[in-house]
A and B are shown apart, each in its own frame.
Chain A
């Protein structure tokens, strides 16, 4: 552990859908923001629900502080679905497909390219 601390680089937390399912909305948001504020990049296997995303934006805003924390950069990647299947899923009451989500400190992560099939992100070292 001591050796790891001395190394320079980027820390990434990969969080499984199982772990996310065990947490309440505020626990998820707290976990994400605590990691991001410790300069980690968080990758969520299944992402957040729209309501959780809305609360994440709100809580992030309340934590922005000059010269300390400028907010988050977030990117989600929805798996492509055959045309019409999203509508059928909704009709059948199936859950929205999981979306891989990357969240990091706004001053360290920058999206270079984004389309339906590819997201290219630049992560700078501190």
Chain B
């Protein structure tokens, strides 16, 4: 009974805080190249704090072809609540060839449709970045070379817009993972190693999110 009362009191206090704080939750965009685990991370965050998921995960590139927003995710760190909206965005690239999807057993018709939707998704992601994002979680696959033109350009675009950015070195559960290379490539930013799939180092992930975007 006492526990129930405490829960009720906490929930009223949280609602009051939100009502009178006068500030909207910050919209945090999850950006990065295709297939680095952006949706897996978005789902991990949403599942941990709301019980829901945001999108479908897949090994085929460009599974996320529309930006998806999950509102009012309340992350609790050290007795404080940080409320953010998470925007899971399509992977950014400068080229899309439908032939690449044929290798995954897709029909030509489906591959062409997927590539058309993927081009629209990339354009949409860029538009969100210019207009509607307050902070960025930039996800990289720590088994891959991070020093690519897309990464350099996107991080440059984010810096030029003076948006706070955290770089997440994902897939540390894999043997080839090398988060140190990411640290060396982008020494000006905070790098957090993690496995969104296995849930490794999520405490540091949430501490950093609260610290940067709270």
Measured CB to CB, the residues of A under 8 A from B are: 49-51, 53-55, 57-58, 60-62, 64, 66, 70-76, 106-107, 111, 114-115
Known A50-B160, A57-B94, A61-B126; further 14 A-B contacts with Cβ < 8 A: A50-B157, A50-B159, A51-B157, A54-B129, A54-B157, A55-B126, A57-B153, A58-B126, A58-B127, A61-B119, A61-B123, A66-B115, A73-B95, A114-B149
Determine which of B93, B98, B149 lies in contact with A75 in the assembled complex, contact meaning CB atoms within 8 Å.
B149
| Known interface pairs A54-B129, A58-B127, A66-B115; A76-B152 also in contact (CB < 8 Å) | yes
Could you tell me if B96 and A71 are in contact, using CB atoms closer than 8 angstroms?
Answer: yes
Could you tell me if A70 and B157 are in contact, using CB atoms closer than 8 angstroms?
Answer: no
Instruction: Please measure, in the bound complex, the distance between the C-alpha atom of A75 and the C-alpha atom of B149, giving whole angstroms.
Output: 6
Q: Which residue of A has the minimal Cβ distance to B122?
A: A61
B24-48 contacts to A (CB < 8 Å) = none
Instruction: Please measure, in the bound complex, the distance between the C-alpha atom of A115 and the C-alpha atom of B131, giving whole angstroms.
Output: 32
Instruction: Please measure, in the bound complex, the distance between the C-alpha atom of A112 and the C-alpha atom of B169, giving whole angstroms.
Output: 24
Give the residues in chain A near B116, CB-CB below 8 Å.
Answer: 66
B120: Cβ under 8 A from any A Cβ: yes
Q: Which residue of A has the minimal Cβ distance to B126?
A: A58
- Give how many A-B residue pairs fall within 8 Å (CB-CB): 74
11 contacts between A and B (CB under 8 A): A53-B153, A57-B153, A58-B122, A62-B119, A64-B95, A64-B119, A66-B115, A70-B97, A71-B94, A72-B94, A106-B94
| Known interface pairs A111-B149, A114-B147; A66-B95 also in contact (CB < 8 Å) | no
The A interface is mostly helix, strand or loop, or mixed, namely mixed
Give the residues in chain B near A61, CB-CB below 8 Å.
Answer: 96, 119-120, 122-123, 126
Sort chain B's interface into a size bin.
20 to 34
Give the residues in chain B near A106, CB-CB below 8 Å.
Answer: 94-95, 97
Q: Which residue of A has the minimal Cβ distance to B161?
A: A50
Give the residues in chain A near B92, CB-CB below 8 Å.
Answer: 57
| Known interface pairs A61-B122, A74-B94, A114-B148; A66-B153 also in contact (CB < 8 Å) | no
Could you tell me if B115 and A64 are in contact, using CB atoms closer than 8 angstroms?
Answer: yes
Could you tell me if B94 and A60 are in contact, using CB atoms closer than 8 angstroms?
Answer: yes
Q: Which residue of A has the minimal Cβ distance to B152?
A: A76
B198: Cβ under 8 A from any A Cβ: no
B77: Cβ under 8 A from any A Cβ: no
Min CB gap A15→B, angstroms: 18
Min CB gap B5→A, angstroms: 51
Instruction: Please measure, in the bound complex, the distance between the C-alpha atom of A11 and the C-alpha atom of B159, giving whole angstroms.
Output: 34
| Known interface pairs A49-B160, A57-B94; A76-B119 also in contact (CB < 8 Å) | no
Could you tell me if B147 and A115 are in contact, using CB atoms closer than 8 angstroms?
Answer: yes
Give the residues in chain A near B160, CB-CB below 8 Å.
Answer: 49-51
B122-146 contacts to A (CB < 8 Å) = 122-123, 126-127, 129-130
Q: Which residue of B has the minimal Cβ distance to A64?
A: B119
Give the residues in chain B near A73, CB-CB below 8 Å.
Answer: 94-95, 149
Instruction: Please measure, in the bound complex, the distance between the C-alpha atom of A61 and the C-alpha atom of B122, giving whole angstroms.
Output: 7
Min CB gap B136→A, angstroms: 13
Could you tell me if A53 and B147 are in contact, using CB atoms closer than 8 angstroms?
Answer: no
Min CB gap B155→A, angstroms: 9
Give the residues in chain A near B164, CB-CB below 8 Å.
Answer: none
B214: Cβ under 8 A from any A Cβ: no
